[in-house]
Structure 1
Amino acid sequence: MTELPILIAGGGIGGLATACALARKGLRSVVVEQAQAFGEIGAGIQIGPNAFHCFDRLGVGDAAREKAVYIDALRLMDARTAEEITRIPLDQPFRDFYGNPYAVVHRADLHGVLLEECRRSDLVELRTEHRVAGYAQDGAAVTLHLSGRDPLKGALLVAAEGLRSPIRAQMLGDGEPRISGHTTYRSVIPTGQMPEDLRWNAATLWAGPKCHIVHYPLKGGKVYNLVVTYHRDVQEAISGRPVPREEVAQGFEHIHPVARQIIEHGDNWKLWVLCDRDPVSTWVDGRVVLLGDAAHPMLQYFAQGACMAMEDAVALAQCLDGAADRDGALARYQAMRTLRTARVQMNSRLIGEYIYHPADAQAAVRNHVMQGMSPQDWYRQLQWLYGSDGLEGQACCRQVDLSIFAEKKQGPGAPQGRMRDEFRF
Structure 2
Amino acid sequence: MNSASAPVDVVVAGGGIGGLSTAYALARSGRSVRVLEREPEFTEVGAGLQMAPNATRILAGWGLLDEVLHAGVAPCRLLFKDVLDGAELTHLDLDDAFVRRYGAPYVVIHRSDLLAILTRACERAGVALVPDCDVRDVTTEPDGVTVHSAKGDHHGLLAVAADGLHSTLRARFSDDEPICSGYVAYRGAFPVADLGDRIDQNALQDVVCHVGPGCHLVQYPLRRGEMFNTVAVFKSPGYLRGEEDWGGPEELDEVFSGACEEVRAGLGSLWRDRRWAMYDRLPIPNWVDGRLVLTGDAAHPMLQYLAQGACQAIEDAACLATELGGAAPSGWDGAVKRYEAERTGRTARVQANARLWGDIWHVDGVARLLRNELFQQRAPRDYRHVDWLYA
TM over 0.5: yes
CA contact 2:90–2:376 (8 Å) conserved in 1? yes
2:146 is the counterpart of 1:140:
no
User: Which 5+ residue runs of structure 2 have no aligned equivalent?
Assistant: 1-6
| 8 Å contact from structure 1 (residues 182, 233) kept in 2 | no
Aligned to 2:335: 329
* Distance (whole Å) between structure 1 residues aligned to residue 66 and residue 260 of structure 2: 41
The aligned residue for residue 384 of structure 1 is 388
Q: Is the 8 A contact 1:245 1:263 kept in 2?
A: no
Helix, strand or coil: the match of 2:275? strand
Q: Partners of 1:44 and 1:258 in 2: how far apart?
A: 20
Deviations 1:171-192 (A, max 9, x none): 1232320011101111112213
Distance 1:15 1:8 in 2: 6
The answer for unaligned runs of 5 or more in structure 1 is 388-425
SS in 2 for 1:381: coil
The offset of 1:40, in angstroms, is 0.8
The answer on whether the counterparts of 2:184 and 2:234 sit within 8 Å (CA) in structure 1 is yes
Aligned partner letter, 2:153: P
Deviation at 1:247, TM superposition (A): 4.7
Give the letter for the 1:357 counterpart. Answer: H
Partner residue of 1:46? 50
Aligned to 2:372: 367
Inter-partner Cα distance in structure 2 for 1:301 and 1:167: 26
Cα gap change, 1:163 to 1:186, in 2 (>3 Å): same
Give the SS at the match of 2:255: coil
Shift in CA distance, 156/246, structure 1 to aligned 2, threshold 3 Å: same
Q: 1:134 to 1:196 in 2, by over 3 A?
A: closer
Give the aligned partner of residue 168 of structure 1.
170
CA distance in 2, matches of 1:61, 1:263: 32
Partner in structure 2 of residue 131 of structure 1: 134
1:88-127 alignment runs, 5 A limit: 88-122=92-126, 124-127=127-130
Mapped to 2, the partners of 1:111 and 1:68 lie a distance apart of 12
Call closer, same or farther: CA 1:363–1:53 in 2, change over 3 Å. Answer: same
- 1:303 equivalent in alignment to 2:332: no
RMSD: 1.8
1:264-303 Cα distance to aligned partner (Å, 9 max, x none):
3434552000000001110000000000000000001000
> 1:191·1:199 contact (CA, 8 Å) conserved in 2?
no
Q: How does 1:259-274 map to 2 (within 5 A)?
A: 259-274=263-278
The answer to which of 109-118 and 267-276 deviates more is 267-276
Q: Which string of whole-angstrom CA distances, capped at 9 and with x for unpartnered residues, describes residues 342-376 of structure 1? A: 1110010000001x211111111111111111122
CA contact (8 A) 2:281 2:302 kept: yes
- For residues 319-351 of structure 1, what are the alpha-carbon distances to aligned partners after superposition, in whole Å with 9 as ceiling and x for unaligned? 001223111100110111111111110010000
**1:103: how far off?**
1.6
The CA distance in 1 between the partners of 2:34 and 2:355, in whole Å, is 35
Amino acid in the other structure paired with 1:185? Y
Q: Which runs of structure 2 are paired with 1:150-165 in the superposition (5 Å)?
A: 150-165=152-167
Is the deviation greater in 286-295 or in 317-326?
317-326
TM-score normalised to structure 2 length: 0.92
1:209-253 CA-partner distances (Å, limit 9, x unpaired): 0011111111111121111111016669xxxx9x98545312211
- After TM superposition, the score normalised by the length of structure 1 is 0.85
Q: 1:258 offset after TM fit, Å?
A: 2.1
Relative distance call for 1:268 and 1:231 in structure 2 (3 A) is closer
In structure 2, the CA distance between the partners of 1:205 and 1:269, relative to structure 1 (3 Å rule), is farther
Q: Distance in 2 between matches of 1:168 and 1:155?
A: 19
Q: Which amino acid aligns with 2:230?
A: L
Q: CA deviation at 1:82?
A: 0.9
For the 8 Å contact 1:194–1:262, the answer to whether it is kept is no
Contact 1:244-1:269 at 8 Å conserved across structures: no
Letter of the structure 2 residue corresponding to residue 134 of structure 1: D
Residue identity opposite 2:197 in structure 1 = P
Residue 59 of structure 1 and its aligned partner are, at CA, apart by: 3.1
1:250 is paired with a residue whose SS is helix
Q: 1:267 to 1:331 in 2, by over 3 A?
A: closer
Q: What is residue 351 of structure 1 aligned with on the other side?
A: 357
Deviations 1:369-418 (A, max 9, x none): 111111221x232111111xxxxxxxxxxxxxxxxxxxxxxxxxxxxxxx
Q: Give distance in 2, aligned partners of 1:244 and 1:380.
A: 38
Confirm whether residue 11 of structure 1 aligns to residue 15 of structure 2: yes
**What is the CA-CA distance between 1:58 and the residue it aligns to?**
2.8
SS of residue in 2 equivalent to 1:165: coil
